[in-house]
Amino acid sequence: MKRNLKLKMIFVLMVSVLALSSCNLPFKIVPNVSTTPPPAVVSTPSPQVSSQPTLDSGSETPTPETPLNLADIVPVSGSVLTWIDFSNFVYVPAGEFNMGKESLTPVDYAPVHKVDLAGFWIHQAEVTNQQYASCVQAGECSAPNKESGYPYWYSLSSEANSAVVGVTWDQAQKYCEYIEARLPTEAEWEKTARGTQEKTYPWGTDLPTCTLLNFNNCLPTPKPGEVRSYMAGASEYEALDLAGNVFEWVSDWYAADYYSKTSISNPLGPESGIYKVYRGGGFLSDEQDVSATMRFFTEPVQHSADLGFRCVLIGNYSNHPTKIQIPRPCEVLPIAQHQPEMQPTWTPMPCDSPYISGNCYLTSSGGPITSIYIQQSNCQSNKLKDFVSSTIIDLNCTGPNIIGDSKSYTCNGKNMIQGSTVDLSYCHKFSFQLMAPTCPVGYTFDSLSKFCLPSASPWLPEPPCPVGYKETAGQCLPDAAVHQGCPAGFYYFLNMTGPNTFEELCMPLDDCLLPNSKEPCEPPVCPAGQTYDTANNCCSLPKKLRAVCPVGFGIQEDPVTNQLFCDLPDLFPPECETSQVKIAFCPTITPTPTLIPQQNCYCDPKIIAFCSLICD
């Protein structure tokens, strides 16, 4: 197992280098939401050998003894399935395991007892802020609770890939229901964490260190870390973050003596209770509390800065065939569209105080012209925009006129009367560079709608296969190597074709999705609130796209085109400033001087009062 994991890590690192060299992503964010492309293979430890196997000189590529039959391929331990919300699930095969730990003193995690579980798919990592935001955006979940003494991580775009916390048991279960899933049972959670070998920790018996998990204040600022950050801490089934980072709700009620009378087959926990169980340890936990056998409990209405969750898919997906169809979304936002290349490090207003003046000058014919001049310096990539006024009619602002690091604008209007005071509001906007949009496999970018839409070809086209698919056993399957991931409804499968050779396959959850299937799938599964589009074999979204933007971003709508996009509405709070501007008086036209005799004094009319003083 250790050797396989090492080889998997080598593969992940090699693919990561290739991926990073070919694209410039805005920030480290795994697109695990319903409006972004599927997670890349670099985010999962699925491969079991190096991506470039080496053979002895002169050796030939071995050929399988029997032709590959796709219908015979079933999920194996560690298979990775991309689900309808583009999150990743790993497969835990059916079978027995020993649950609990022996103790000489009375404890709630003893005695050890044998439990037989059906196979199940469980989240590979804890649910993230960005994933949870999809449910909140859809109106199916409530926002996490803000924990006293800690930042509200859910609102920070920098924490999009960190485990969501501050959720009650009901909030966690509601999210799982939103993606057609449920919270894991305590037995399912423990088997995923320690496997069939009674491991102390997910990785084995080695003592916890900061290279294996986020615990005991490992991070410079103690907080939930990004999921999938500790690949070396993976369990036997390639599940991650089961120790440390954040505790995780499970479905069971708590009873201190439950282990002495639990059911042997697929136990569901006590029928009722006061407390719910949570497992796994958090970023503040010590060595003992991150053990895979430790049990914790609290009231289901409680929430904490180090308590999150993961889900298990509903239904018995281990029996083949299941005939469950997992459609793709009909519309998704392309990755790298309307996202900044980097987050700014200055807040909240990266500009010097503005210089504003109300001016008036005369035309050649003597008519007055009024205007407002506004100028700011040291704004870096920030710029002024959206000039508005409640007192100026037909406000029109032009600019910027750029000289060095100074940007200036000139504003005019119909009722900017000399000597009057008017208001002028202006907003700051972070200027970022748009990157070329890319779509997941099976989608094509539509330049008019700005969405990724299902490709014109069928979900699984017939050979000859188009770009993005490859022919396997006479079928066109999504090419996992090219697209660095599998579409919704497909799981990542590494097919060993010989001792040192393999092929990466995207296998449908069941062969009912294949074009030549003799039996149809069961009614398709779509997220709550969505409907199935028969023509395109996808889940249709409501009129207003229930898109998911990175946490801290917001869904904006262009008032002219009605297009939706992700933007930064609150990057620099407050967004706008208002100034009161007094319009200056225009200078009067200077007449030709006239000499006025007065007691042998000649005075300019403009200073006649002064003349009277010196000449009288």
Rounded Cα–Cα distance for residues 243 and 211 (Å): 12
Structure tokens at 447: 């330049």
> Tokens 């997910």 sit at which residue?
202
Residue 19 lies in a domain: yes
Burial of 403 (C-beta count, 10 Å sphere; 0-12/13-18/19+): exposed
**What would the mean pLDDT of 275-293 be, rounded to a whole number?**
96
Specify whether 103 is located in the same domain as 246.
yes
Q: How far is CA 483 from CA 38, 44, 431, 552, in A?
A: 9, 14, 30, 28
Evaluate whether residue 101 is within a structural domain. yes
In a domain, 616, yes or no: no
Lowest mean pLDDT among 136-145, 295-304, 538-547, 562-571: 562-571
- Maximum average pLDDT range among 4-8, 18-22, 81-85, 508-512: 81-85
pLDDT at 65: 53
Q: Which residue has the tokens 């973050």?
A: 241
Q: Are residues 293 and 419 in the same domain?
A: no
9 three-state secondary structure = helix
Handedness of CA 205, 206, 209, 212 (dihedral sign): negative
**What was the pLDDT predicted at 1?**
41
- State whether 310 and 325 are in the same domain: no
- Quick one: 519 exposed, middle or buried, by C-beta within 10 A (0-12, 13-18, 19+)? exposed
Please report whether residue 596 resides in a domain. Answer: no
Range with the lowest mean pLDDT among 4-13, 365-374, 530-539? 4-13
Q: What is the CATH number of the domain that holds 227?
A: 3.90.1580.10
Concatenating the DSSP letter of every residue in 212-262 gives: T---TT-SSS-SPPBTT--GGG--TTS----SSSSEEEEEEEP-TTGGGS-
**What total number of domains does the chain contain?**
3
Half-sphere exposure of 429 (CA within 13 A, CB side): 11
**What tokens appear for 353 in the block?**
């105080």
**Residues 193 and 102 occupy one common structural domain:** yes
Record the tokens describing residue 309, joined without a space: 């969750």
Q: Are residues 104 and 26 part of one domain?
A: no
CA distances from 193 to 156, 233, 314, 579 (A): 30, 10, 19, 59
Average pLDDT over residues 547-574: 54
Residues 275 and 360 in one domain: no
Task: Report the pLDDT value the prediction gives residue 19, as an integer from 0 to 100.
Answer: 34
Taking residues 14-22, report their average pLDDT.
33
pLDDT of 574 over the 90 cut: no
Rounded CA separation 454/474 (Å): 23
If asked whether residues 461 and 362 sit together in one domain, one would say no
Q: Are residues 390 and 458 in the same domain?
A: no
Same domain flag for 286 and 333: no
Pairing mode of beta strands 247-253, 307-308: parallel
Whether the per-residue pLDDT at 264 is higher than 80: the answer is: yes
pLDDT of 175 strictly over 50: yes
Q: What is the mean pLDDT of residues 362-380?
A: 83
Query: Tokens at residue 498, please?
Result: 């010989």
CATH number, domain of 360, equals 2.60.40
The answer to whether position 343 is within a domain reads: no
pLDDT level of residue 194 (50, 70, 90 thresholds)? very high
**pLDDT at residue 328, rounded to an integer:** 80
| Whether the predicted pLDDT of 317 surpasses 80 | no
Least confident range from 19-23, 200-204, 278-282, 396-400: namely 19-23
Clarify whether residues 304 and 322 are in a common domain. no
pLDDT for 387: 84
| 150 and 40 inside one domain | no
Of the candidate ranges 332-346, 494-508, 514-528, the one whose mean pLDDT is the lowest: 332-346
CA Rg value for the chain: 33
565 domain residue, yes or no: no
Quote the domain boundaries for residue 26. 1-55+68-75+318-337+440-551
- Contact between 309 and 248 under an 8 Å Cβ cutoff? The reply is yes
Q: Which of 64-78, 253-267, 427-441, 600-614 has the lowest mean pLDDT?
A: 600-614
In this prediction, residue 331 has a pLDDT band, given cuts at 50, 70 and 90, of: confident
Residues 280 and 325 in one domain: no
Q: What is the overall mean pLDDT for the chain? A: 77
523's CB contacts (< 8 A; 6+ apart) are 325, 532
Q: What does the pLDDT average to over 311-332? A: 73
Q: Is residue 83 part of a domain?
A: no
- pLDDT tens profile 27-86: 222 233 332 333 333 233 333 323 333 333 344 444 445 677 777 777 888 889 988 777
pLDDT in tens, 468-487: 788 888 888 888 877 677 88
The rounded distance, in Å, linking the Cα atoms of 278 and 294 is 9
Residue 88 lies in a domain: no
Supply the pLDDT for residue 30: 28
Which one-letter DSSP state was computed for residue 264?
A: S
- Residue pair 517/511 in contact (Cβ under 8 Å)? The answer is yes
Query: What's the order of all strands across the beta sheet hosting 307-308?
Result: 296-298, 276-279, 247-253, 307-308
